[in-house]
Amino acid sequence: MVREGLRSLLAALALGVLLACGIPPSPTAGPVRSVLPPAAPREFRAAWVATVANIDWPSARGLPVAAQQAEARALINRARTLGLNAIILQVRPAADALYASDLEPWSEYLTGTQGRAPQPFYDPLAFWVEEAHRAGLELHAWFNPYRARHETARSPLATSHLATARPELVRTYGNQLWLDPSVPEAAEHVVRVLLDVVRRYDIDGVHVDDYFYPYPIKDAAGLRVDFPDEGPWQAYLAGGGSLARADWRRAQVNGLIERLAREVHRTKAHVRIGVSPFGLGRPDRRPTGVAGFSQYDDLYADAERWLAEGWVDYLMPQLYWKREAPEQPFAPLLDYWRSQNPLGRHVWPGLFTSRTSQVDLPWPAEEIVGQIHLARSGTGAPGHAHFSLIALKKDPGGLGALLQATYGGPALVPVASWLGGTPPAVPSVRLRRAPAGATVRVEGPAPRLLALWAHYGPEWRFFTLPGSGGLLPASYEGQPLGAVLVSAVDRMGLESPRVTAADERD
């Protein structure tokens, strides 16, 4: 064992010499039989956690606080075990809040009654952020910008809810309530809500879903019901406006996305902005043979423009169809969205992983794995998100084992290079070896994350740990732990130079 540790230490020293001479590490992501460990693998691996209608968390309204927290920890642990590195948590499903807010009432999906705080009191978003970061995961806060009441709502509106306090900002559309995007005060409120969260919570991203103007509904006669914004539309025309009504509506949504891009980055430069639009693009640009719903014409969402203007740091189109779907084939749709990306922002597909657990006509687990492989092909940083985490917890068709094999271990999130930033300082790391494992300890300020290459016999294995440190296996496949190379990773994913962890002596 001593000789093996000495060989690993000499290998690490040789690595330092080679790096000093400018020889780059291998780009291979997996374990390799080499004196040089490869570059840290990078892939955005996320899962949405939907709170509306208690889809993912909490599992029911009014659960005791201890049960809510236990469920959250179990979901985070599942994500970490599978190899994910980000959680996208829905914190504002319908002009309400799953966090302490002076601007909007507590969500009924948390306590069962809108406006009622959890008892004993805790802040769910703060809890999720802390637990996710402790597990080495990012936490992106997911907002629905305009929906004001979901069809599954049961409790009365709180007095602080906009539909009660500012009814002139809210429209009834079918069995839901909706903020009117064309009313400036409504858009201003949405921006204030999002920026309030950015300022007060240590989130890694702001995430907006596909609900802008509502999905259209039909009346009893089968005719489409138009969104009730006649008043603002007539005021626009009376003021000399010349846009067609559809273009005018798109301008409202474009203005919100552009302002969010500007204001979020001004508030905290490292917080990334992501949007997950419906997966089909503009009809006049689609690949041949692609057909279906037009978000451009019906949701008034010009997602292609948001990408082209650089108003998003990542676009996550919801590609919720199988690879061989005749009118919505996965690979051509992904290629389409990548082709609309002149500034090189991140384009990562949203995967309909929950279809693997449906009772009627479920997808095989292999479909999701196949889509991940397609997402890894082509140019650009790889990534994807699963809708949703509860499906990964249920593990239909052995999906968890397939994902673990596909991921092959943890990965760092890709860097959004256009946001700038400076790599963190080289960490000072100590290693205490014991039969149960090697404890990694950081001296001085802890970074957000540690990236580690550990040498086991002829192989390097990649690990991530929270910035405060943690435990590495004492052996792997019968080979003892040798040298350990460590780098610090900051909140933007930037990585410091590597350093060899020094062994502590008793």
Q: At what angle do helices 365-376 and 399-407 cross, to 10 degrees?
A: 20
Q: Could you report the per-residue pLDDT of 463-501, keeping only the tens digit for each?
A: 999 999 999 999 999 999 999 999 999 999 999 999 999
Q: What is the pLDDT of residues 395-435, one digit of tens each?
A: 999 999 999 999 999 999 999 999 999 999 999 999 999 99
**Cis before 382 (ω within 30):** no
The rounded distance, in Å, linking the Cα atoms of 173 and 216 is 9
Predicted local distance difference test score (pLDDT) of residue 48? 98
Mean of the pLDDT values across residues 257-279?
98
- Of 465, 471, 501, 459, give the one whose Cα is nearest residue 483: 501
Q: What pLDDT, on the 0 to 100 scale, is given for residue 10?
A: 39
CB 80 within 8 A of CB 135: yes
Q: Are strands 350-351 and 383-386 parallel, antiparallel or unpaired?
A: parallel
pLDDT at 276 over 60: yes
* Long-range pairs, 321-327, Cβ under 8 A, ≥24: 321/279, 321/352, 322/363, 322/367, 323/367, 323/370, 323/371, 323/374, 326/289, 327/289, 327/290, 327/291, 327/292
Q: What is the mean pLDDT of residues 272-292?
A: 97
Residues of the chain with CATH 3.20.20.80: 44-414
Nearest Cα neighbor of 180 from 192, 193, 168 is 168
- Residues carrying CATH 2.60.40.10, the chain: 2-41+421-503
Here the tokens at position 360 are: 């009627």
Question: Within 10 A of 24 (CB to CB), how many other CB atoms are there?
Answer: 10
Query: Comparing 17-26, 144-153, 366-375, which segment has the lowest mean pLDDT?
Result: 17-26
365-376 and 330-339 helices cross at what angle (nearest 10)? Answer: 30
- Type of residue found at 214: P
Sign (positive/negative) of CA torsion 127, 129, 130, 132? positive
Q: Which position has the token pair 């236990």? A: 70
- The pLDDT tens digits for 89-105 are 999 999 999 999 999 99
Largest CA distance in the chain: 85
**Confidence at 160, pLDDT banded by 50, 70, 90:** very high
Q: Find tokens 């309909």 and name the residue.
A: 352
Of 3.60.15.10, 3.20.20.80, 3.90.550.10, 3.30.70.260, which CATH number belongs to 44-414? 3.20.20.80
pLDDT of residue 379 exceeding 90, the answer is no
> Using CA atoms, how far apart are residues 98 and 161, in angstroms rounded to an integer?
14
Which pLDDT score, from 0 to 100, does residue 35 have? Answer: 74
DSSP character string of 34-92? SSS--PPPB-EEEEEE--GGGSSSSSSTT--HHHHHHHHHHHHHHHHHHT--EEEEEEE
Query: Binning pLDDT at 50, 70 and 90, where does residue 359 land?
Result: confident
The pLDDT of residue 6: 39
Q: Which of 31-40, 281-290, 368-377, 416-425 has the lowest mean pLDDT?
A: 31-40
CATH code assigned to 2-41+421-503: 2.60.40.10
Q: Is 458 exposed, middle or buried (0-12, 13-18, 19+ CB in 10 A)?
A: middle
CA atoms within 13 A on the CB side of 448: 23
pLDDT at 449: 97
Confidence of residue 196 (pLDDT cuts 50, 70, 90): very high
CA distance 452 to 493: 14
Do the Cβ atoms of 465 and 449 come closer than 8 Å? yes
Average pLDDT (185-208) is 98
pLDDT value of residue 42: 98
First to last CA, the chain: 18
Tokens coding 139: 């936490």
- Report the 10 Å Cβ neighbour count for 96: 30
Residues 6+ apart with CB under 8 A from 2: none
Structure tokens given for 279: 């997966």
Instruction: Share the mean pLDDT of the chain.
Output: 93
| Residue 138 predicted with pLDDT over 50 | yes
Give pTM, 2 decimals: 0.93
How far apart, in whole angstroms, are the C-alpha atoms of residue 15 and residue 24?
A: 10
Share above pLDDT 70 across residues of the chain, in percent, rounded to a whole number: 93
Give the integer Cα–Cα distance in Å for 234 and 88.
39
The conformation of residue 106, written as its DSSP 8-state character, comes to B
Q: Is the pLDDT of residue 27 over 80?
A: no
Q: Where are the beta strands (DSSP E) in 182-296?
A: 205-208, 217-218, 224-225, 272-275
pLDDT digits (tens, 9 = 90+) for 312-337: 999 999 999 999 999 999 999 999 99
Residues 179, 212: Cα–Cα separation, whole Å: 10
Answer positive or negative: Cα dihedral of 325, 327, 332, 333: negative
User: 47 pLDDT exceeds 70?
Assistant: yes
